[in-house]
A and B are shown apart, each in its own frame.
Chain A
Amino acid sequence: MQKKVRTILFVGIAVFLLIQMYQPARNKDNGQLSTLHFSKMYKVPDSLNIIITNSCYDCHSNNTRYPWYAYIQPARLIMEWHIKKGKKELNFSEFGNYSKRRQDSKLEGIIKQVKSGEMPLFSYTILHRNSKLTQQQKRKVLNWIDSISKNNE
């Protein structure tokens, strides 16, 4: 019995150590913003830039701020999966690559997701406490996106 417990423990540790070796390339742009970046296309006010950097860019751009536990598997795997999915839906770093029509519908989508509180994701905000949008921040984001999306029309 004791031997069995020890075997399980050892195998568990071995697997844990093993998966640490898997460290895929990081989602980092090293401060190089492409001309397609959202902030190069629109004059984003500083106060707003802080909010979206804080609450959106980790999953919706080519630049993620990795927390310490991102270096430990399997946290890393879960995170990469989220980032991949997030960027597929909306990538602020390559916003200029979308056609005009898609840009408009992305902006519309942002408004709906933020308004309904679906974004930023709950699973993200429980780990990133300051990424949760306050009512005031929410209103700020909504008003601003609304104004640029009107300008586009």
Chain B
Amino acid sequence: MKNVFLYAIATSVFIACNSRGDADNESSTKPESASISKAGSDTANSTSAITSSDFSITEIMSDYLKLKNALTNDNAKSASEAGNALVAGFTKLETNSLSTDQKKKFTEISEDAKEHAEHIAANAGNIQHQREHFATLSKDVNDLISTFGTEQKLYQDFCPMYNDGKGAIWISETKEIKNPYYGSKMLTCGAVKKEF
């Protein structure tokens, strides 16, 4: 009995001596990399579609469309699966064949898109939340297509109602409107804005 107690004290003293490493705020301030990118002239104005064989957004597009169709069908679980596939797709995409400028553009888009895909994957029980992230993800994917081109015929659709009337876009492989933001509630609401 007494032994247990003594042992505990001995051990705690030992640990106390070892645990005082002060690793203050590992990831706090990195002032040098201060790219306060207020004036980042990003988004979609590049005309040079990439035809390199190494780099292709085809797989990403296919997973994105799966995600879109899952949301259209009000299926949060398969949306979550497609979200996971998207994260993997963005992570493994080889960017070596891109120019520095294109690489930068891609990394910027993919960092953001990956985060939204992660949230969609993690929220298999909350389709509203998945749709919120899908709205921003769609903007990223739209810019991805405008920058890197697509072999597949795609449409940019617009739902004027979503996000308290601010509206949101989505990318579709069909000309027919099938709204992923409201699913079966308002399936045919929206309009084609642009063709790729």
A and B form one complex: yes
Cα A39 to Cα B21 in complex, Å, equals: 31
Q: Which segment of B8-16, B48-56, B69-77 sits at the interface? A: B8-16
Please report whether the interface of chain A is mostly helix, strand, loop or mixed according to DSSP.
helix
Indicate if the CB atoms of B31 and A18 lie closer than 8 Å.
no
Q: Please tell me which one of the listed residues B5, B16, B33 contacts residue A97 in the complex, with CB atoms under 8 A apart.
A: B33
Q: CB-defined interface of B8-39 with A at 8 Å, one 1/0 digit per residue?
A: 11011001100101111101111101111110
Q: CB-defined interface of A71-112 with B at 8 Å, one 1/0 digit per residue?
A: 000000000000000000000011011011111010011001
Indicate if the CB atoms of A100 and B38 lie closer than 8 Å.
yes
Chain A: minimal CB distance from B101 (Å): 14
A130 proximity list for chain B (CB < 8 A): none
Within 8 Å of chain B (Cβ to Cβ): is A32?
A: yes
Chain B: minimal CB distance from A35 (Å): 6
Cα A97 to Cα B140 in complex, Å, equals: 19
B4 proximity list for chain A (CB < 8 A): 7, 10-11, 14
Indicate if the CB atoms of B19 and A25 lie closer than 8 Å.
no
Report if A101-B140 is in contact (Cβ < 8 Å); known contacts: A10-B1, A14-B5, A25-B22.
Answer: yes
Cα A97 to Cα B33 in complex, Å, equals: 7
Indicate if the CB atoms of A105 and B31 lie closer than 8 Å.
no
Indicate if the CB atoms of B8 and A96 lie closer than 8 Å.
no
Chain B: minimal CB distance from A19 (Å): 9
Indicate if the CB atoms of B28 and A21 lie closer than 8 Å.
no
- The interface centre, meaning the residue of A15, A22, A23, A105 with most chain B CB atoms within 10 A of its CB, is A105
A17 proximity list for chain B (CB < 8 A): 8-9, 12
Interface residues of A (CB under 8 A from B): 3, 6-7, 10-11, 14-15, 17-18, 20-23, 25, 27-29, 32, 34-36, 41, 62, 93-94, 96-97, 99-103, 105, 108-109, 112
Interface residues of B (CB under 8 A from A): 1, 4-5, 8-9, 11-12, 15-16, 19, 21-25, 27-31, 33-38, 40, 42, 108-109, 111-112, 115-116, 132, 136, 140
